[in-house]
Amino acid sequence: MNKIKINSTYDARLDSYISDELNGKFSRNHVKNLIKSGRVSVNGKNVTKPSKIIKINSEILISDHNLEKNIPHNSPLPNIENININVLYEDSFIAIVDKPPFISMHPGNGKRKFNISDYIQIKWPDIINVGENNRRGIVHRLDKDTSGLVIIALKKISYEKLIEMQKIRKIKKSYYALVNGHPKKKKGIIDAPIGRNPKNRIKQDIIHGGKQAITEYEIIKKYDNFSLLEIKIKTGRTHQIRVHMKAIGHPVVGDKKYNNFSHNIKRQFLHAYNIKFKHPINDKILDINSEIPRDLNEFLKNLS
């Protein structure tokens, strides 16, 4: 029997929260069965009601032999010698790394491939009890094919403070995105709730009763059939920018999941280029930038 521990970061139904946190590795029905069979506890107490509302900062413990197959955290760590990840800021409490595209944040199903979680464990082996199992030090995530800045907590105290800062929107994140077409307004705010698509669980969608999601955008440059946007997110929902841009009719270029147009690009044009926040320990203002990667720059040059 294997176990995984999750610390909740918002109020939600128990079955919904577990399913979302495990990124759809298990169906909602499987999660419900786990709960009903007494294999899930919240804050040390067994819970058998899938619809139970859990509060923020609850500790969820899941026991299931299938977790070994789906979450291979006991697999050997890969070699990182030939992996080039830039660390743009580092002190005793936090680090900020520039994630390349095509690298997941944590291990997925099947054969273990290099991921940011593994990189953290190898780069900073002294990280102990910082963050969730299999996601040591990870404060927030980027999609596999999205590049850019990620905050890593190196101590438990900095992790807890950064998570709290994120909840109250004290960490400012800005992205560059290239989208199809030209939005009607130069600046706009999209405030639409996001949840898992009930018909396709690997997708998110605008869902009545979903989690609040707020995205601000501004047009930086117009091309014939595209617009380069600066995007700032007030919340951090799964696929938030991609879902919101699709919802207003201007999907992210190269997004194979949410854009039906074909483009000569290997991944979605989405880059987390700036992150600004107050250091959780010394209150210093950190304002870190990442340049647009070469592959995205080359695509822009071909449009000019």
How much is the pTM? 0.76
CA separation for the pair 63, 67 (Å, rounded): 8
pLDDT of residue 213: 94
Helices 14-21 and 28-36 pack at an angle, to 10 degrees, of 130
- Could you tell me if 60 and 34 are in contact, meaning their C-beta atoms sit under 8 angstroms apart? no
pLDDT of residue 67: 52
Domains 3-70 and 173-272+299-303 share a fold: no
CA separation for the pair 253, 41 (Å, rounded): 42
Q: Which CATH superfamily is domain 3-70 in?
A: RNA-binding S4 domain (3.10.290.10)
Residues β-bridged to residue 102: none
CA separation for the pair 142, 96 (Å, rounded): 13
Residue 136 has pLDDT above 70, yes or no: yes
- Which candidate, 282, 275, 269, 231, places its Cα nearest to that of 88? 275
Q: What is the CATH number of domain 173-272+299-303?
A: 3.30.2350.10
In 10 A of CB 13, how many CB atoms?
Answer: 15
For residues 280-293, average pLDDT: 97
Name the least confident of 12-21, 204-213, 276-285.
12-21
pLDDT of residue 1: 47
Q: Pick the residue with more confidence: 299 or 114?
A: 299
DSSP string, 18-60: HHHHTTTSS-HHHHHHHHHTT-EEETTEE---TTPEEPTT-EE
pLDDT of residue 7: 76
pLDDT interval class at 163 (50, 70, 90): very high
CA separation for the pair 133, 196 (Å, rounded): 23
DSSP 76: P
Active-site residue numbers?
143
**Per the structure block, which two tokens stand in for 119?**
């990189």
For residues 239-243, average pLDDT: 96
pLDDT interval class at 65 (50, 70, 90): low
Ordered by start, the domain boundaries in the chain are 3-70, 173-272+299-303
- Which candidate, 14, 17, 15, 42, places its Cα nearest to that of 31? 15
> Strand, helix or coil at 191?
strand
Q: Which amino acid is at 57?
A: N
